Structure 1
Amino acid sequence: MADPWAGEAERLAETLQQAGAGDNGIVSLKVADVTESGRVNLELGDGSLLLDVACPDSYRDRAAGDWVAVRLSSVPVVLWRLGDDPAESEGDRVQAAAEQAALDLQVVRAATYGTAGPSGSGWQAASAVYVRKIDGRLELYFQVADDSDPSPSTPDVPTPKPATISPSDAGTWRGGRPDEYASAPTQGDWTGRGNRRGAWFYGSKISDACAGKTVSKMTVAFSRKTGSGVNAKRPLHLYLHNHSSPPSGQLNLGDGPEDLLRLSVGAKGTASLPKSWVNALASGSAKGLAVYASGRTDYMAVTGGKITITFS
């Protein structure tokens, strides 16, 4: 019986030779994508992919485009990431996270005082103390007889925290009706039985989260399922739709397509939505996202659909 791994072993040997690996079998390779499991797909010299390669815990913030040191063997493994020391950027990120955590846990947002009553709405007198709620936290004002020692100024109201909206439902349509054979939203046609279109549904959760706020951007996260289409990176053809929930008939597509993200098999990724789409989703004139493609070239099944909304 032929060895099923012979071809893979031969390809790894060729890669070692092309990359100039030493006796220890270590080469530098570029990350094509990060997979849903947190592993990586790597680009080989001939343009093919080395799929789902394990990484050490020390390799954090993995991203497509990273260069990594890899030991190629029967079970390839990433050893470390190549590049600049991340200490400075890591410090900034930790500081920002600490500041946000302090704001989240803070019960009193501001404490000020003066000889007159406080200005603005929402105040309640508690003896000589006034209190109101701003951005979910308390703000105190103390009325005093002498303010020769000036009061601290009131800090600005912080920007609302980002909101993350998960789909309430998802599905695939083919031939004008739901496709019960698709386990996840799917685009394209692999078998010749007709093009599929997939979608994610959010009800009114997106517009509700945006009500009364200024939206600066929206991003959406997807993962490409294994066993769907070719292994190489292919684009997701994204559309808007106006369905609050899955329709019993055809899924009607809105604005699109926008090819915002390319994923290899098993990979995950995040894309920023166009400003016009952000406005449509925030206002409720569009309700959700869909994918659609024609034929085998960009065929894939996709999971995820979680939208993160950032405010200003």
Structure 2
Amino acid sequence: MTAAEDLGRALAGGAPAGAQTVSAQVVDVTEAGVNLECQGTLLLDVACPDSYRGRAAGDWVAVRIGAVPVVLWRLGPDPGGTDDASIREIAADVAADLVAISAYTWGTAVPGAGWEQVTTLWTRRDSNGTGQLYAQIGGSTPSPTPPPTRPPKTVKISPTAAGSWRGGSPDDYAATPVQGDWTGGGNRRGAWFYGTAIAAACAGKAVSSMKVAFTRRSGSGVNAKRPLHVYLHTYTSPPSGQLTLGAGPEELLSLSAGGKGTAALPPSWRTALASGSARGLAIYADGRTDYMAVTGGQITITFSG
């Protein structure tokens, strides 16, 4: 019997009618739902309704207790303002890709005062690949102020390979990146590889942030939150021998079993990855305490103007 089922049956059996909804705090968001801290017990992969959107660690939710607990709704302020802001941000990003023309008209007669005849029309693509038009005119009207240059679009880069190493060579028993040692066979170190894609995406651009997304696999180590010990490495593909670790460790985030999260890379790390002096990310821990298997590794790169 799982902890969730055990707690659910205990509360359901001893609670009076109408008192089987309790509040709980989200520990982590998972692929299937959320992990909850409920009355001193960690409940894993509790199902959520579709209406519970924008789930995040730290949320307080109402939970229906039973043999299988279910989240009913999130507790807290109306998220409408936050939703409105995010919608406007997306709309502004889409609109920035469009070239606005204030008016478009036509006719058989020559237009009135203030109109200039275009003698030559020029076109080009800017650094972001957006088409631009330039009208050369025969009059004396001064050129308008050029619109500000948009920063390049955000880029998402997924790993081309990943794996684990133990005892100086690839670990055939752990294709997923793993940190630590659960069975006494020796510490594992895991890594994600991106070829040269990160440096290529950053070439000629100013990087403002890099974030990486990880998911901790269920059934690896203790269920409670434990930190990822993250390092840089210099490999474009998995080595046949030992995986040598670079700068680190940084405890970028902690995850409970099945939890997923996103963390910002330190400024010095994004500089190293952007320049190509580092090529990817790795994890390593000593012993059982922080043992876990981790998937994901997608890096999101944001550029400045």
What TM-score comes out, normalization by structure 1 length?
Answer: 0.86
Tell me if the contact between 2:5 and 2:68 (Cα under 8 Å) persists in the aligned partners: no
Q: Distance in 2 between matches of 1:278 and 1:9?
A: 44
User: Given the alignment, which residue of 38, 42, 46 partners 1:44?
Assistant: 38
Partners of 2:225 and 2:10 lie apart in 1 by: 22
Residues 171 and 110 of structure 1, relative CA distance in 2, 3 Å threshold: farther
1:12 pairs with 8, 14, 25, which one? Answer: 8
Q: CA deviation at 1:143?
A: 2.3
Please list the CA deviations of residues 122-149 of structure 1 after superposition, one character each: whole Å capped at 9, or x if unmatched: xxxx95212222121222222223355x
Matched, 1:66 2:40: no
Q: 1:139 aligns with which of 132, 138, 156?
A: 132
8 Å Cα contact 1:240/1:289 also seen in 2: yes
Aligned residue for 1:268, secondary structure, equals strand
| Runs (5+) with no aligned partner, structure 2 | 103-117
1:114 alignment counterpart: none
* Aligned counterpart, 2:208: 216
Q: CA deviation at 1:10?
A: 4.9
Describe the superposition over 1:235-280 as per-residue Cα deviations: whole angstroms up to 9, x where unpaired: 1000001111100000000011111110000111101111111111
Separation in structure 2 between the aligned mates of residue 151 and residue 68 of structure 1, nearest angstrom? 57
Change in Cα spacing, 1:35 to 1:8, as seen in structure 2 (3 Å) is closer
Match of 1:154 among 125, 143, 146: 146
- What letter is aligned with 1:11? L
Matching of residue 185 in structure 1 with residue 156 in structure 2:
no
- Describe how 1:84-103 pairs up with structure 2 within 5 A: 84-103=77-96
Q: RMSD across aligned C-alpha pairs, in angstroms?
A: 2.3
Change (3 A) 1:168 1:21: farther
Deviation at 1:84, TM superposition (A): 1.2
8 A contact 1:15–1:45 mirrored in 2: no
Which whole-Å deviations, capped at 9, do the CAs of 1:206-260 have from their partners, x for residues lacking one? 0000000000110000001111111101110000011111000000000111111
**Unpaired segments ≥5 residues, structure 1:** 112-125
2:41 aligned with 1:54: no
Contact 2:232-2:281 within 8 A present in 1 as well: yes
Matched, 1:271 2:266: no
CA distance in 2, matches of 1:261, 1:21: 40
Cα separation, 2, equivalents of 1:275 and 1:51: 34
Structure-2 change in CA distance of 1:86 and 1:93 (3 Å)? same
Q: Are 1:30 and 2:22 matched, yes or no?
A: no
1:31/1:169 Cα in 2 relative to 1: closer, same or farther (>3 Å)? same
In structure 1, distance between residues paired with 2:100 and 2:245: 45
Aligned equivalents of 1:73, 1:17: Cα separation in 2: 9
Pairs aligned (count): 288
Partner of 1:122 in structure 2?
none
Of 169-178 and 133-142, more deviation after overlay is shown by: 133-142
Among 265, 268, 274, the residue aligned to 1:282 = 274
How far off its partner does 1:11 sit? 2.6
Structure 2 match to 1:229: 221
The alpha-carbon deviation at position 153 of structure 1 amounts to: 3.5
Could you report, residue by residue, the CA deviation over 1:146-184 in whole angstroms, capped at 9, with x for unpaired residues? 355x76543111111111010010010000000000030
When residues 304 and 23 of structure 1 are mapped into structure 2, their CA distance, relative to the original with a 3 A threshold, is same
Q: Within the alignment, does 1:164 sit opposite 2:156 as a pair?
A: yes
Aligned ranges for residues 108-123 of structure 1 at < 5 Å? 108=99
TM-score w.r.t. length of structure 2 = 0.88
Give the Cα–Cα distance (whole angstroms) in 1 for the partners of residues 211 and 16 of structure 2. 39
* Structure 1 counterpart of 2:42, one-letter code: L
Distance 2:4 2:83 in 1: 38
Q: 1:291 aligns with which of 265, 283, 286?
A: 283
Could you give the per-residue CA deviations for residues 54-112 of structure 1, whole angstroms, max 9, x where no partner exists? 111111010000011111111111111111111112111111111222334x3x4789x
1:21–1:27 contact (8 Å) kept in structure 2: no
Q: Distance in 2 between matches of 1:52 and 1:210?
A: 37
C-alpha distance in 1, partners of 2:172/2:213?
24
> What percent of counterpart residues are identical?
59
Contact 1:110 1:155 in 2 (8 A): no
